[in-house]
Structure 1
Amino acid sequence: MSGIALVRKPGSRLAEGIVTHIEREPVDHERALVQHDAYVEALAAHGWRPVHVPVAEDLPDSPFVEDTVVVSGRVAVLTRPGAPERRPEVESVAAVVRELGLKAVRIARPGTLDGGDVLQSGPTVYVGRSARTNPEGITQLTALLPERQVVPVDMRGVLHLKSAVTALPDGTLIGDPRHVDLPGLLVPEEEAGAHVVPLGGDRVLLAASAPATAAMLERRGFATIKVDISEYEKLEGCVTCLSVLIAD
């Protein structure tokens, strides 16, 4: 599998990004830039062509591009983020997905939806009920993706569904049962261990802060690509947040 990786470099106000469930820590902006470059290079090295959304200096959370759009096939669902200050991030992403030839549709008021609450695995789309994604947003997403099975999921103590659970290439869900109730979870180490990005075949991208999970996945036959995203983890970010993969 290969395709396009939609990404956006952080602006100078990254450290002002929203923090909800963890204590705020200082963010090293220069280190964050280096880490973002390495993240993008890792995607490119495994077949994903980077397409950069323009930097948004006045939008601190904008590198977390996943929250602005959900792509299913050739349909791009432009979200309406639950945090009002993040909603201006969507328009520049909308312009890029249209340039890529995707059909753009929207979540409309009063619905709210963050892409980080949307986990796609085969025909199923799990959607977290969160402070950022409301029932109307889930209803609208269901109508916009009639060919998919949309499954609402309750969660506890995390910002987004994909803060708690993601999916491996074979469809196995990997996640933390403290935060989400889903059957058949493969339980990783706490925190970053629940976050993987399938890159095609048996390859998965995960954070360098989850070495035990990487070892577990390697024992299960997966090839792991590890990246340091420590500055983004200080803002409740993870490897899924920093890109949207659009398969060819």
Structure 2
Amino acid sequence: MFKNVIVRRPSKSLVNGITSAPELGKPDYELALKQHDSYIEALKSCGVEVTVLEADERYPDSCFVEDVAVLSKNCAIVTNPGAMTRKGEEKEIIDILKDFYTDDKIEYVKAPGTIEGGDVMMVGDHFYVGLSERTNEEGAKQFIEALEKHGLTGSMVPLKEVLHLKTGLAYLENNNLLVAGEFVNSPEFEKFNKIIIDESESYSANCIWVNDKVIVPAGYKKTKKAVEDAGYEVIVVDTSEYRKLDGGLSCLSLRF
């Protein structure tokens, strides 16, 4: 169960964030703010304490706070983002983490290693790490070494198509795994009860489990029904403006 969540408000510079889908257009900043408000309220309804960080205009993608750290019950690991325009974001989270973790429980991934939290999926005490354009093998190696130092384990998963590991996966606890695209037949995830996302709704594979409730992006009826059929209470939140920057529900928070 999660007790705490950290989010960062979107900056006005959000409109200049990284995207692989320029055809979707630039984010509407005012609408993004309203969607962020709804996201925070959805999280609070799951019984967590939400720490809201101020927007950082220096970093257009800084609302995607998940990428700058990975938080667990045993330790916090500060990442080293692989996207050049995000270098430095990770430094802005360190003082916040010290409100929750002692110095000896905070680890750091350093160059030439790169890793982003969107490439990390926690399943109990084990962490799957996607090797992507943003997360290299050296970064994954340092990350797994840090986990092992604190009694946790990790393994690497090569990615072929998606930006981040959690672009196509969401662990819903109880051995239930939402899967889409390249992960449907992936041998690394054979042991899970798979909830397969329809190809037309692949974006919605990025859901988040928060204390037995599942937050699902708005507009994906098949995914919503599949999650409900698996026995979960579903909360729907619109993330249309974040999708324009390759962002989803998990990207917008650190949950621990």
Structure 1 residue 124, shift from structure 2 partner: 1.9
For the residues of structure 1 that align with 2:31 and 2:64, how far apart are their CA atoms? 16
Taking a change above 3 Å as real, the CA distance of residues 115 and 2 of structure 1, as seen in their structure-2 partners, is: closer
Give the match for residue 141 of structure 1: 143
Are 1:65 and 2:33 matched, yes or no? Answer: no
Structure 1 residue 22, shift from structure 2 partner: 6.2
Q: TM-score, normalised by structure 1?
A: 0.93
Give the match for residue 14 of structure 2: 14
Are 1:196 and 2:207 matched, yes or no? Answer: yes
The structure whose residues are more often helix, as a share, is 2
* Unaligned 5+ runs, structure 2: none
Give the match for residue 93 of structure 1: 93
Structure 1 residue 186, shift from structure 2 partner: 2.2
Taking a change above 3 Å as real, the CA distance of residues 101 and 150 of structure 1, as seen in their structure-2 partners, is: closer
Taking a change above 3 Å as real, the CA distance of residues 134 and 2 of structure 1, as seen in their structure-2 partners, is: closer
| 1:22-33 pair list within 5 angstroms | 23-33=23-33
For the residues of structure 2 that align with 1:229 and 1:188, how far apart are their CA atoms? 18
Taking a change above 3 Å as real, the CA distance of residues 22 and 134 of structure 1, as seen in their structure-2 partners, is: farther
Give the match for residue 196 of structure 2: 187
SS in 1 for 2:235: strand
State whether residues 128 and 161 of structure 1, in contact with CA within 8 Å, keep that contact through their aligned partners in structure 2.
yes
State whether residues 75 and 101 of structure 2, in contact with CA within 8 Å, keep that contact through their aligned partners in structure 1.
no
State whether residues 156 and 179 of structure 1, in contact with CA within 8 Å, keep that contact through their aligned partners in structure 2.
no
For the residues of structure 2 that align with 1:193 and 1:32, how far apart are their CA atoms? 18
State whether residues 76 and 104 of structure 1, in contact with CA within 8 Å, keep that contact through their aligned partners in structure 2.
yes
| 1:37-186 pair list within 5 angstroms | 37-102=37-102, 103-146=105-148, 147-178=151-182, 181=186, 182-183=189-190, 184=192, 185-186=194-195
For the residues of structure 2 that align with 1:132 and 1:159, how far apart are their CA atoms? 8
State whether residues 21 and 159 of structure 1, in contact with CA within 8 Å, keep that contact through their aligned partners in structure 2.
no
Deviates more, 1:94-103 or 1:17-26: 17-26
State whether residues 53 and 93 of structure 1, in contact with CA within 8 Å, keep that contact through their aligned partners in structure 2.
no
What amino acid maps onto 1:186 in structure 2? I
Structure 1 residue 175, shift from structure 2 partner: 1.2
Structure 1 residue 216, shift from structure 2 partner: 1.2
Deviates more, 1:129-138 or 1:18-27: 18-27
For the residues of structure 2 that align with 1:2 and 1:129, how far apart are their CA atoms? 26
SS in 2 for 1:141: helix
What amino acid maps onto 1:216 in structure 2? A
Give the match for residue 219 of structure 2: 209
Give the match for residue 35 of structure 2: 35
State whether residues 122 and 171 of structure 1, in contact with CA within 8 Å, keep that contact through their aligned partners in structure 2.
no
Structure 1 residue 21, shift from structure 2 partner: 5.8
> How much is the aligned-residue C-alpha RMSD, in angstroms?
1.6
For the residues of structure 2 that align with 1:128 and 1:22, how far apart are their CA atoms? 24
Give the match for residue 236 of structure 1: 246
State whether residues 54 and 92 of structure 1, in contact with CA within 8 Å, keep that contact through their aligned partners in structure 2.
no
For the residues of structure 2 that align with 1:21 and 1:113, how far apart are their CA atoms? 22
What is the identity percentage for the equivalent residue pairs of Structure 1 and Structure 2? 35
Q: Deviations over 1:76-95 (max 9, x none)?
A: 10000001220211112111
For the residues of structure 2 that align with 1:168 and 1:179, how far apart are their CA atoms? 15
Q: TM-score, normalised by structure 2?
A: 0.91
* Unaligned 5+ runs, structure 1: none
Structure 1 residue 24, shift from structure 2 partner: 5.0
For the residues of structure 1 that align with 2:222 and 2:41, how far apart are their CA atoms? 23
State whether residues 193 and 213 of structure 1, in contact with CA within 8 Å, keep that contact through their aligned partners in structure 2.
yes
